[in-house]
Amino acid sequence: MKLKLCFFSAVLVSVVSLGAITPALAAEAGHSAAAMANKQAQTQDALRDLWIGHIFWVRNVALETMAGNADAAKAAETQVVANAKQIAASIEPFYGKAGSDKLLNLLVGHYGAVKAHIDATAAGDKDKQTKATKDLNDNAAQIADFLSGANPNLPRATVLSLFQAHGAHHIAQDMQLHDKQYAQEAQTWDAMRKHMCVIADALTAAIAKQLPDKFI
Q: What is the mean pLDDT of the chain?
A: 88
Reported confidence tier of residue 32, pLDDT bands at 50, 70, 90: low
Reported confidence tier of residue 35, pLDDT bands at 50, 70, 90: low
Helix extents (H) in 91-155: 92-123, 126-150
Mean pLDDT check: name the lowest of 21-25, 72-76, 117-121. 21-25
Helix (H, G, I), strand (E, B) or coil at 120: helix
**What pLDDT does residue 1 have?**
40
Reported confidence tier of residue 26, pLDDT bands at 50, 70, 90: very low
Task: Evaluate the CA torsion angle 155, 159, 162, 168 in order and state its sign.
Answer: negative
**What pLDDT does residue 77 have?**
98
Statement: residue 34 has pLDDT above 90: no
What average pLDDT does the segment 39-56 reach? Answer: 97
Residue 108: other Cβ atoms inside 10 A? 16
Statement: residue 128 has pLDDT above 50: yes
Statement: residue 13 has pLDDT above 50: no
**What pLDDT does residue 33 have?**
65
**What pLDDT does residue 41 have?**
95
Statement: residue 8 has pLDDT above 80: no
207 neighbors 40 (Cβ within 8 angstroms): no
Which amino acid type is present at position 185? Answer: E
113 neighbors 171 (Cβ within 8 angstroms): no
118 neighbors 174 (Cβ within 8 angstroms): yes
Torsion of CA 195, 196, 200, 205, to 10 degrees: -10
pLDDT in tens, 167-198: 999 999 999 999 999 999 999 999 999 999 99
pLDDT in tens, 132-164: 999 999 999 999 999 999 999 999 999 999 999
142 neighbors 149 (Cβ within 8 angstroms): no
Reported confidence tier of residue 85, pLDDT bands at 50, 70, 90: very high
8, burial (CB in 10 Å: exposed 0-12, middle 13-18, buried 19+): middle
Residue 2: other Cβ atoms inside 10 A? 12
182 neighbors 59 (Cβ within 8 angstroms): no
**Separation between Cα atoms, residue 49 and residue 75, nearest integer Å:** 20
Which amino acid type is present at position 213? Answer: D
pTM over 0.75: yes
- % of residues, the chain, pLDDT over 70: 84
146 neighbors 110 (Cβ within 8 angstroms): no
Q: What residues does each domain of the chain span?
A: 36-215
